[in-house]
Amino acid sequence: MAVVKASSNTFLIVTLATAFSIALYVCPRRRRLTAKFTNNAQQKYEQQLVDEDESALLTSHTDYVMVNQHELRIIEIPHHDRTVPLMVFIHGLGGQAAQWEHQLKHFSESYHVLAVDLVGCGYSEVVSDWSSYTASSLAEDVVQLITADDRYPVSRPLIMVGHSYGCSVATFACASDWIKNRLVGLVMISPKADLDKDQTKGQTFLPWIPDFMIENSRTKDRQGGLYSNSVERLLDADATEELRKSQLRWNLMSRTDVYKRMATGASFPTPEIYDRLTGTNILLIGGQEDKITPPSDMDIIKSRLPSMKSAPHVIPGVGHMSLVAKPHVVNDLIDVFLNTLKK
């Protein structure tokens, strides 16, 4: 009899649990309640990530400078030899200077290194006007940062490194008369060649979409935390938990209003702009698994650079964020490239 009683109790418990689960699923009020608990947990975890301190390397070399009437955060590690080239790092859309930490640490041994948070990104000042976020304006900020106030002598050679949309900004900057005469090398990591038709069309109505609607979409995109779509589309499947935390943190720090303005003002170098870089030493690096800017974009860019002889480098098994996912591979490729310039 005891066995039968236990079976009956088990059946009763399973039945009640099933009924409760069905009621919870069917009742909108209950669904909202569980969603609230889920969202609160997600928000708490996300806030903890955002509140985390940066590494000592980044914080100890952080400074703030006024450029074109807005304050930009820079990470700068000077070299004891003032004749070595200045190496400037430009992040992409939704990115920040902290993403270059591996490169800053590595290349500071041989170069004067400088990474910048573009306006509205990372810890730089957020401005409300739209014109400050166009590609030409961002490039002008980079040019002014390098050339204004004799901060970096004209005699100092320049190496520019960009990632993703930062490649576009870097290319526009390098094509300016102020920069190209002192430029010795340009490195483009996961560059994008052009906007497709849908993206171009999207720029016309993106300004009219309320921020809260985009924010809601981004919040849903982050559901799943370290393994959310927000993180997965940028990193490869075997990314470490620490790297996933960093990527989620960077995504969270990317403001919706800034992202919207920058995406609306995005543009990419034309063949005429690339013509201005004729004779410039250029290195192209991409990730084989990149879902944002596939390696084929590098082939398009190379076709617009007739003086470029070397083929693009495609890193196997890595996505869009090769600079943090495979930093040693990226750094080695850049080292080889820069060493050829010294010969």
User: According to the model, what pLDDT value does residue 135 have?
Assistant: 97
Which pLDDT tens digit goes with each residue over 74-97? 999 999 998 999 999 999 999 999
Average pLDDT of every residue of the chain: 89
- Mean pLDDT in residue range 305-321: 93
- Mean pLDDT in residue range 16-29: 44
Split at pLDDT 50, 70, 90, the class of 331 is very high
Split at pLDDT 50, 70, 90, the class of 3 is very low
User: According to the model, what pLDDT value does residue 200 have?
Assistant: 93
249: Cα separation from own chain's centroid: 11
How many percent of the chain have pLDDT more than 70? 88
The answer, yes or no, to whether residue 37 has pLDDT greater than 50, is no
User: Cβ distance 206 to 260 under 8 Å?
Assistant: yes
User: According to the model, what pLDDT value does residue 24 have?
Assistant: 40
How many Å apart are CA 41 and CA 13, to the nearest integer? 28
User: According to the model, what pLDDT value does residue 39 have?
Assistant: 65
The answer, yes or no, to whether residue 36 has pLDDT greater than 90, is no
CATH superfamily of 56-342: Alpha/Beta hydrolase fold, catalytic domain (3.40.50.1820)
User: According to the model, what pLDDT value does residue 85 have?
Assistant: 96
Query: For residue 114, what are the CA distances in angstroms to 16, 17, 79, 91, 137?
Result: 63, 59, 11, 12, 19
The answer, yes or no, to whether residue 66 has pLDDT greater than 90, is yes
User: According to the model, what pLDDT value does residue 251 have?
Assistant: 96
User: According to the model, what pLDDT value does residue 270 have?
Assistant: 95
Which pLDDT tens digit goes with each residue over 158-183? 999 999 999 999 999 999 999 999 99
- Mean pLDDT in residue range 290-308: 94
Token representation of residue 328: 């040693």
Kindly tell me the burial class for residue 134, based on how many C-beta atoms sit within 10 Å of its own C-beta (0-12, 13-18, 19 or more): middle
For residue 56, the tally of other CB atoms under 10 A from its CB is 8
Split at pLDDT 50, 70, 90, the class of 20 is very low
Least confident of 10-14, 29-33, 110-114: 29-33
User: According to the model, what pLDDT value does residue 98 have?
Assistant: 98
User: According to the model, what pLDDT value does residue 343 have?
Assistant: 62
The answer, yes or no, to whether residue 31 has pLDDT greater than 80, is no
How many percent of the chain have pLDDT more than 90? 78
User: For the chain, what are the domain ranges?
Assistant: 56-342
Q: What is the pTM of this model?
A: 0.87
Which pLDDT tens digit goes with each residue over 149-160? 778 888 899 999
The answer, yes or no, to whether residue 34 has pLDDT greater than 70, is no
User: According to the model, what pLDDT value does residue 23 have?
Assistant: 44
Buried b (16+ CB within 10 A) or exposed e, 109-132: eebbbbbbbbbbbbbbbebeeeeb
